[in-house]
Every structure is written in C-alpha cells, then in structure tokens.
Amino acid sequence: MKSEKASTQKNATFDPVAFSKNYMEVLEQGMPLLQNAWTKTLNDFASLHSADPFKFNEALSDFWLNLFNDPERFAKAQIDYLDKMNFIWQENYHKFLGHETVNKDSEKQLKDKRFKDASWQENIAFNIIKQTYLVSCDWIMDLVEKTKGLTTEEKRRLEFAARQYTDALSPSNYFMTNPEILNATLETNGQNLIDGLKNLIDDLDSESGTFRISKTNYSAFKVGENLATTPGKVVYQNRLMQLIQYSPSTKSSFETPLLFIPPWINKYYILDMKPENSLIKWAVDQGHTVFVISWVNPDKTYAETNFEDYMQDGILEACKQIQVQTDTKQVNAVGYCIGGTLLATTLAYLAAKGEEELIKSATFFTTLIDFENAGDLSLFLNEEQLKVLEDKIDDMGYLDSASLQNTFNILRSGDLIWSFIVNNYMLGKDPFPFDLLYWNDDSTNMPAAMHKFYLRNMYRDNLLCQKGAMTLKGKKIDLSKIKTPCYFLSCKDDHIAPWASTYNGQKCFEGADVKFTLSASGHVAGVINPPSKNKYGFWQNNNTKSSSAEEWLENADYFTGSWWENWQDWLKPRTGKERPARSPDKGKLKPIEPAPGSYVLNKPAEKQEV
C-alpha cells in the first residue's frame, strides 16, 4: 500500500485528541501488515536460533565462562566502570550548578552522527544518558578485547556480536531517550510518529510480509536518465553479460583499450553514476577507449552457472570481442571487488596456458585474494551457516539479492539500519535522495553453483592464494606465475575487503611488477573519488614486500586528493600509441542498443520495488 502523508507542521500546543484519532486510523490500516511481518520475523528468528548457525551463543558462553574464571579482572572491571559512572554524575552535577566542567565532550563524541542534535550536549539529562551509553560501550568492548582463552575466530565473532548489541542499544534509537524525536513530537502534535508509521507500512510487503527499509527516494533516480548517462552502445551480448563501448570525447585515443570488470553482486553503474563522479566518463575524457561488462541479473535458470562461466563467457569473451572491435591484441583490465578476484584467477589461468599477453596490465579495486582475514563477512560463513545457506540457494537456484543486501546492512547496522529507523519511522521524514544508496539497493542475485564455489574455495578454504590448490577449466591456478604489471587500490576504512587483507593478497603476485595504493575512506567512496572534488587522499610506498600492512603504511608517503590521476600516470606507459578515436558505431561489431543497455535494468527474479 502507498499512503498519503500530511505535511509536518509545528504547533504551539499538543492536541492529544486529534493525535489519538489520526494514530488509531493509521493503526487500523497497518495492523494486519505489522502482524504478518512480526509473525514471519519470529518464525525466521526461531529457525535460526534453534541452530545458532552464527555460533554467537557459543562465543557468548565462552566469554562469560572465561570472565567468571578470572574474578580479580572481573572485579577490577566493575570498579573501573563504577568510577567512570561516578565521574559522569559529578561532572554533570557541577554543570547543573553552573560551574565550568573539566571534562569537555571529546572530539569522537562530537563527530558521532547519532548525537549531533544540540540537546545531547546542552540538556544535562540527555548528556548523562549519552555519556553513560558511550562509557558502557567502551567498557563492554574492552572486556571482550581482554578476554583470554578464546580462539581468534571466537573473539572476532564476539566482538562483532558486541558491536551489534551496543549499536542496537544506542539511546538515539528510542523514542523516550532521543531528544530530537521528543522535540519533533511536541512541535508537530505527534504528526512525526503518524508519518513514521505510514513510512513503516509502506516498507512492508503486504503479500510476503517482508520488511525492507527505504534508504533513499527511489523515484528520484532512473538508470539511463540521471544515472549511467555516459554515451555509448552495447556492441555484444551473450547469456551472461552485455559489453558496452563508450563514445569518445577526444579526437584521438590510446591504442590499448580499457576494460572494466565490475562485481556482479551489484550493478556496474557504480563506475558511471553522475557525470561529475563517473570514473568511466573520466577515463573516456583522458583518451581511453573504454569498455565495461554489464552482468545479467540471474534467475533460477542460471542455477548451474559457475565461476568458470564468469571467466570464460565474461572476461575472456569480452577480451575476444574487444579485439575484433578495435583490431588490437591486448587490453588493460580493471577488476572491482569480486570482479578483481575473477580477474586474478583469469590472469593465472592465462599464465598456465601461455596466453598472458592478452591482458597488458591489470588494476584491482578493493579486491580480496588472500581470504585468511576477510573481515566481518567471513563470520557468516562457518560450516554450519554455509550448510543453511546452500540448502536455501539449492532450493531457489540462486542467492536472492535481499539476503545479500541484509548481510551487508548488518555489517554497518548503525549507518544502514538504525539511522533510517530513526529518520523514517520516528522522525517521520522521507529518506534523502542519494544516488549511492539507490545503487546500493539495486542489487542482484547470485547463481547457486557460482556462489557455492566462491564461498567454499575462497572464503572457507582460501585456495586462491595457495599455489596450484585451485583448478579452473583443467588448469591449476598459481598467482606467482603471473607477470602482468598490476596496480592495487585498497581503501583504509573498507569493511568488505579489509585493506590489510588486500595488501597480503598482492604478495601472491611474486613474478609481477606491483604498485600498491591505499585510499582514504571506504569500499565505494574511496574508489569513486574524482579529482574535481579534491577529497580524501591516498598513501603509496614502493616497497610492496613489507612484512606487514602496518609496516607498509608506517613508511608510506601521503598525498592529498584523488588517486585517479596517479593511476593514469601508471597506466599511460601501457596504453600504446595514440590513434584516431574509435566510435562504437564504426567498429566491426554491430551496435545492439544504446548504453546503459537492458541487462542493467533487470530487477531480481523475485520482483522488488527499487
């Protein structure tokens, strides 16, 4: 259902009768949907809780057992906590009396977006609530960090569970402990809560009972109109992908074409958002003949499509068609995230066949190759959870996009769940139009066979970085045999591909000339960082064989601004001579349709509103 919301107006007085009447009307409309969603949530939780596939209960039991076995540390931790609580009360008591306080809000507190409303600092009661919460969070995380007797995996699982717990308990998430919500309720006669309930009802699927938080104004964006607008043509397609060639913006172009290989977890247009932050448009403007793979959004008919198919019918077929279209023998390839993992395996496969010259240079954006410490995502992939997940995708023929989206949301629950619960359902505001969040929610399904191979061979067994441990199309994969020059770009705050792990991955390329660059920010913002914004910065150190990522960073030089121009300087000697610019309309391949093509517009098999 789609409800109409009244405009939120500030009122001088609160009218409880009018509020009750409006609220009961909305409840009458929304209660059946709420009950259906609640029943489904309880059933889903019960099925997970009975098996505890994430083994959080096991880690929690071990934590308490170890803590009680060390009563001296437990007692000291309690005394320490009480001292900090006493200090908070004393400071705020002095503040109440009008005295100057010694303890100012820390820079960390002031930067915490949850507590940006002035009332959190100015109102003594809410300041106490905030400080008590933050001290409690630090106390819990310190207890977890110093717990002895746990394995590394158990401690990581416990730390993740503790972060989820503390994020959920933030006073900013609840009506009675968030001054911004209370003020809005008084100022609008409760209209914010009524609008919030309508937003909640709008986010419930009336048929399935599923719940999906709206993170942006989806009607504000349309792929091909205000996203993915760089001119070009689809010049080839097969069952797995469309190959897009972009129209030149310069009179001449470099001889060696540039091929972008995006992840197939999300759609390719993260590389071509708005013109001002489009990496594809920027590369075209530098004089590259740019191609990009646009992956299909698979349904159950793709159940048997495997990792080898993505290599053969994806990268290798794209290279073959680019050779035909441009009359060249080589390409410069760029792989993003899992697209980079696929590129690494393809390079090793070509090296095993003696055909490595097909790819002249390789660039890897936030790419995991060594999965030993693959971040919080690996916590969801123990053997028991893998079995639950594989049973599900075997039944469906694919891993549905909603499951992937929910997992990534949980990894950043503060930013991608709780902040929107407060904004949408308590403050009653519509989410802000944000192109990046539109793309983030425009996710895709994953074929069953491919995804099982990826999870077991990469995340579970970490075979890719082991010489000859993985076989693709009859060839043993050995990254040390690769001689292709490589540029690695990782991001310091990446929660999906932790930069220390990506640094360890580049060490597998023992026979290649490797340049490693570390960008500030995260998995997306650190990559999509155009020079015109002059934002963030990056680190470089030519010694890519440092014993650890920390040592590499300690001796690295920091540069302000975008890494794009640095990458272009590295790439340019590998682009060949300049020649007249190539138009997709004048090659040997017949254009099929204009960019962005039709594959990128396909929604998941189980239709969802995006």
**114 strand-pairing partners:** none
With a CB cutoff of 8 Å and minimum separation 6, the contacts of 288 are 253, 254, 257, 258, 575
Q: Are 595 and 233 in contact (CB under 8 A)?
A: yes
Whether 491 is catalytic is: no
Assign residue 466 a region (left: φ > 0; alpha: ψ between -120 and 50; beta: otherwise): beta
The DSSP 8-state label assigned to residue 459 in this structure reads: I
Of the candidates 241, 509, 210, 227, the one whose C-alpha atom is nearest the C-alpha of residue 351 is: 509
Chain centroid offset of residue 609 CA:
20
Count other Cβ atoms within 10 Å, centred on residue 430.
Answer: 14
**Partners of 236 in the β-ladder:** 243
Residue in 118, 136, 137 with CA at minimum distance from that of residue 179: 118
Fill in the DSSP letter of residue 274. S
Contact 259, 318 (CB under 8 A): yes
Q: Which residue has the tokens 């991608």?
A: 416
Task: Judge contact between 334 and 459, C-beta under 8 A.
Answer: no
Residues 6+ apart with CB under 8 A from 132: 85, 88
Buried-exposed string 451-460: b where 16+ CB fall within 10 A, e elsewhere = bbbbbebbbe
Residue 218 CA to its chain's centroid (Å): 18
Q: Which candidate, 206, 81, 233, 63, places its Cα nearest to that of 148?
A: 63
Query: What CA–CA distance (Å, rounded) separates 27 from 474?
Result: 61
CA distance 414 to 431: 15
Sign of the dihedral through C-alpha 172, 176, 181, 183 = negative
User: Where in the sequence numbering do the catalytic residues fall?
Assistant: 337
